Amino acid sequence: MFGGGPKREKRQEEDEDVDEPSGSSKKKEGEVADDEEVDVHFEPVVHLTEKVDIKTNEELEEQTFKMRAKLFKFDRDSREWKERGTGDVRLLKHKENQKTRLVMRRDKTLKVCANHYIVPDMKLAPNVGSDRSWVWNAAADVSEGEPEAQTLAIRFANSENANLFKEAFEKAQEENEKLFAAAAASE
């Protein structure tokens, strides 16, 4: 076809048998192929014998709220909202001191994008133009290492989820207010 040379004539079946290497998979007419079971076995290059326990510092806390959401941070320099991540926002109550904090980790990387106590002076306000998002100021968010003041916004899939978050947030805020007042009175 592409070679431009003369067409080759088909060889007869006997000629093909001669050219075939031994153990060929081609069958002759009337021959039954042997059923061979192929046993393929690979050894791992690296053996993982030890299970590594990952500490998240959430072992002494119980989860009181969990909902999927998208978190935004207001950038004061550029005067615009920057996306912090998408994942499960959780309210975690410490088993010993009973204080509740908000923790949110990104979905695939599990990197912390929000981590702060819910303090009494936080005001949860509805975001302008949306019934499914809330805005608040965190005085000391430690998601990036050092505590820093941030304006955060969170958006949920629907308004029902947003209202469930508001109820859980305000309940945690009331509980923390009592705990912070008791701690301040004892000092």
DSSP conformation letters of the chain: --S-SPPPPPPPHHHHHHHSPTT-SPPPTT-----PPP------SS---PPPPPP-S-TTEEEEEEEEEEEEEEETTTTEEEEEEEEEEEEEEETTT--EEEEEEETTT--EEEEEE--TT---EEPTT-SSEEEEEEEEE-TTSS-EEEEEEEE-SSHHHHHHHHHHHHHHHHHHHHHHHHHHHH-
Computed over every residue of the chain, the mean pLDDT equals 84
Q: What is the mean pLDDT of residues 169-175?
A: 95
Q: Sorting pLDDT into bands at 50, 70 and 90, what band is 103?
A: very high
The domain spans of the chain are 61-186
Architecture of domain 61-186: Roll (2.30)
pLDDT single digits (tens) 6-65: 666 555 555 555 555 555 555 555 555 556 777 888 887 887 777 777 777 778 899 999
Q: What percent of the chain has pLDDT over 90?
A: 58
